[in-house]
Structure 1
Amino acid sequence: MPVVDIPGSKSITARALFLAAAADGVTTLVRPLSSDDTEGFAEGLARLGYRVGRSPDAWRIDGRPEGPAVGEADVYCRDGATTARFLPTLAAAGHGTFRFDASAQMRRRPLGPLSRALRDLGVDLRHEQAEGHHPLTVAASGVEGGEVTLDAGQSSQYLTALLLLGPLTSKGLRITVTDLVSAPYVEITLAMMRAFGAEVRREGNVFVVAPGGYRATTYAIEPDASTASYFFAAAAVTGGEVTVRGLGTEALQGDLAFVDVLRRMGAEVSTGPDATTVRGTGALHGLTVTMRDISDTMPTLAAIAPFASGPVRIEDVGNTRVKECDRLEACAENLRRLGVKVSTGPDWIEITPGGRTPMAGAEITSYGDHRIVMSFAVTGLRVPGISFDDPGCVRKTYPGFHEEFGALNARW
């Protein structure tokens, strides 16, 4: 039975870096993800004056509850959405003038709801070009806290950023959320905040965070469930079997629920305390599925949908249009290039398998999006001739993906 060791979770690593920087004392992160996004986050912390020591298996961060150690800084957030949304929020709790910019791709991604909420809390935040987008400057003087309303219908990261800020305010925060996507990611945030000593609770659509800061700790990063979805999907479409260690019944990440979608389609799934196994049965059924809470795995499902026995309709994933690219249209365009019938709407995609008509290989347009490349690598297990215009964009979250994926296929 092939066993795959998936790199650490990007989402958990980013949250852990924020929490470690804000905590009182030295925090050790065990097995953090080392990728372009997380390296960019760590580099941003260093620019803000935090001490970050990195070894292959552990990162150590000297926390500063009072905020950045410098009075001025220019921070480049690369392509990282967590970096671009979390670091300005962290800086706002300190004192000084901090400028943030990002790649052209990240500049296009929205920031407006978080900016409005921070301004409502008294943060002096200015967008230099397009309102609601990078670049931006924060003239920080601490955050008192209080009540604020937030629309997190585009990204749960807006809510996570405010939640993480809460213990650093003098009064705490009471956040009323009018809309929320990818809710399981917020549960990750709440669990991790508590692990670092914060008091936070949810009352329906209201989140209450007490002041009091964070305590340093040693924190182990679990494997990335979104990344694991490509290996689970690979087993489902090839009739192979794969086990991912470190993702079991106690996992924090909601994206592990992707295996339940595979189970509905006909794969065999076994989840234990510390591992999950998927075995392909040689058949995949069509289905209609809502993926609002696990939308990062939408491209994975879209990429294997052509191998199902009937149509696959994925609903309530409108937020995927404002990720690294418009993932709904990127999946649709690439599937059509392979000869697959696809329809899309504002927040849905429907893929109709071609029956006996074989798909033809083609070059996949990645749009610089790591998830498009990794998803269609799964399609390539069954369709000869698939290539990518930018295979290296996987470095954003998994620099060694192609090597590990190829090794797994060889073992099968």
Structure 2
Amino acid sequence: MTVIDIPGSKSVTARALFLAAAARGTTTLLKPLRSDDTEGFAEGLKALGYEVRQDEDAWHITGRPEGPAHDTADVYCRDGATTARFLPTLAAAGHGTYRFDASAQMRRRPLGPLSTALRTLGVDLTHEDREGHHPLTVAARGIKGGALTLDAGQSSQYLTALLMLGPLTAEGLAITVTDLVSEPYVEITLAMMRSFGARVTREDGPEGGRTYTVEPTGYTATTYAVEPDASTSSYFFAAAALLPGGEVTVPGLGANALQGDLAFVDVLRRMGADVRVEDDRTTVRSTGSLRGLTVNMRDISDTMPTLAALAPFADGPVRIEDVANTRVKECDRLDACAENLRRLGIEVHTGPDWIEIHPGTPTGPVEIATHGDHRIVMSFAVTALRTPGISFDDPGCVRKTFPGFHAAFGAAHGR
């Protein structure tokens, strides 16, 4: 059995940085993820005037409930979607003029529903080049609060940003959601907000909509331990299910985990892998074969590429449905997975929100087109375990979430 020490969750680290910056007092984050995305978030906080001290295994953030210390700032969000969506929302609760820009890749990703919601709340927000995209400028004067309607069918991050904003408003927020993707990420947000002292409730409507009501409580600093990243764990779990005799245990990620992406192991169980989820750890073991299946991955869409890369080794077709939102990630992940699998000689069919992969033997040599997307690299590293000759045109893009991925993955599988 191989025990893997997975770095901290990117999603949890980003939320914790927002909440710590908004809280009264100094928060200590234990074992936060250190990657390009989270370092970019921390640098963005510093640019806004927040005090952030980074030790090796703990970060200390002195919060400012009143908003950024600086009244002007120019913030570069790098490639990070959480940085690019959360920081302008945090700054909107303060007083000053703040400009935000991002990489070319992040400039292509949409912000429109969040911008519309913030304007509904009275925020003076201007997009410089293209409406609904970076760069943007926020002229902040604090936020009174109120009611708004949000379509979060493209990204749950829009809802998360607004939920975390709620306790900083003068009167609270009532957010009615008409559509929602990746709902487990919202549950992470709610649990973490409560850990920092927020009060938020949810009421489901008679026709499927729901309303989140957030009280204007503010936040209180705390010590917060960041759990291992479930999305990153999916590559190691998939490898264990694929390789004869494979077995991997990830400590710190078990039945009590916040992250919905741990449900990826349920997909592996359906395919025939032996899965044990304990309170504080999860183990996946190969049984020597993998079954085809049809699976809805709307709620765990970040692990769609992991399953796509594993799919050729199943004994029947693997059909992944309801993942339209993966087309607006770092790249169009549906097309990227299909493109690379076809280059490996695998039969693949796609639609607007689905991909179907047929069994086959991937053949190299093939250079995987990563499109600068860390999840494409890490997913096809699984395929490479049974396919000699696979290389990547941009292997270094894993620094976004796991700079040491290649060394860790190689060590875990004798490479």
TM score, norm. by length of structure 1: 0.99
Distance in 2, matches of 1:136 and 1:41, equals 17
Letter in 2 for 1:361: P
Distance in 2, matches of 1:376 and 1:107, equals 26
Aligned partner (choices 317, 323, 337) of residue 317 of structure 1: 323
Letter in 1 for 2:80: G
SS at match of 1:251: coil
Deviations 1:161-189 (A, max 9, x none): 00000000000000000100000000000
Distance in 1, matches of 2:362 and 2:42, equals 46
Aligned partner (choices 392, 395, 401) of residue 391 of structure 1: 395
| Aligned length in residues | 409
Conserved? CA contact 2:312–2:362, under 8 Å: no
Distance in 2, matches of 1:117 and 1:133, equals 14
Aligned partner (choices 243, 248, 266) of residue 249 of structure 2: 243
Shift of the 123–334 alpha-carbon distance from structure 1 to 2, 3 Å rule, reads same
SS at match of 2:45: helix
1:224 aligns to what?
A: 229
Distance in 2, matches of 1:210 and 1:78, equals 32
Letter in 2 for 1:176: T
Conserved? CA contact 2:344–2:362, under 8 Å: no
SS at match of 1:273: coil
Letter in 2 for 1:208: T
Distance in 1, matches of 2:362 and 2:325, equals 32
Conserved? CA contact 2:146–2:173, under 8 Å: yes
Structure-to-structure mapping, 1:14-163, within 5 angstroms:
14-163=14-163
Establish whether residue 327 from structure 1 lines up as the match of residue 329 from structure 2: no
Distance in 2, matches of 1:303 and 1:331, equals 7
Distance in 2, matches of 1:358 and 1:327, equals 19
- Greater shift in the superposed pair: 360-369 or 226-235: 360-369
Distance in 1, matches of 2:201 and 2:2, equals 40
TM score, norm. by length of structure 2: 0.98
Distance in 2, matches of 1:226 and 1:27, equals 25
Aligned partner (choices 286, 304, 311) of residue 292 of structure 2: 286
Question: How far off its partner does 1:353 sit?
Answer: 1.0
User: Aligned Cα RMSD in Å?
Assistant: 0.7
Establish whether residue 382 from structure 1 lines up as the match of residue 386 from structure 2: yes
Distance in 2, matches of 1:264 and 1:232, equals 14
2:207 aligns to what?
A: none
Question: How far off its partner does 1:23 sit?
Answer: 0.1
Aligned partner (choices 275, 287, 292) of residue 281 of structure 2: 275
Question: How far off its partner does 1:358 sit?
Answer: 5.2
Letter in 1 for 2:42: A
Deviation beyond 3 Å, 4+ runs, structure 1: none
Distance in 1, matches of 2:26 and 2:240, equals 41
Deviations 1:188-226 (A, max 9, x none): 000000000000011111000000200000000000000
Distance in 2, matches of 1:303 and 1:361, equals 16
Q: Which runs of 5+ in 2 are unaligned?
A: 205-209
